[in-house]
């Protein structure tokens, strides 16, 4: 990551995908990367940016399934919208 930054690349770090032995070491590592210029992101932020919008039919089912399975309240709301709100 630091090498990519020094090469002039724009770097995003998915905080929820980083592993560490302790919460403190995780926070220190993320802080170091952010101080070096990396931009923090969450996994759901990355997924939604890749999906772009819910009218992209070719990736809709896969993205929706991941969110419904792993995104807590947002996933529940998305499942509700799918099952209960039927646009005319």
In whole angstroms, what is the distance from residue 9 CA to residue 29 CA?
19
In whole angstroms, what is the distance from residue 35 CA to residue 78 CA?
35
Strands 39-41 and 12-14: parallel
Q: Residues 48-79: pLDDT tens digits?
A: 999 988 888 899 889 999 999 999 998 899 88
Cα radius of gyration (the chain): 17
pLDDT in the model for residue 88 = 54
Instruction: Output the pTM of the full model.
Output: 0.70
The rounded Cα 27 to chain-centroid distance in angstroms is 17
Q: Is there a contact between 69 and 88 (Cβ–Cβ < 8 Å)?
A: no
């Amino acid at each position: 990551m630091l090498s990519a930054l020094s090469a002039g690349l724009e770097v995003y770090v998915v905080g929820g995908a980083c592993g560490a032995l302790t919460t403190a070491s995780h926070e220190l590592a993320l802080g170091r990367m952010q101080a070096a210029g990396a931009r923090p992101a969450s996994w759901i932020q990355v997924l939604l940016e890749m999906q772009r919008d819910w009218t992209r039919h070719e990736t809709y089912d896969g993205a929706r399934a991941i969110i419904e399975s792993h995104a807590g309240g947002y996933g529940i709301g998305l499942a509700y919208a799918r099952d209960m709100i039927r646009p005319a």
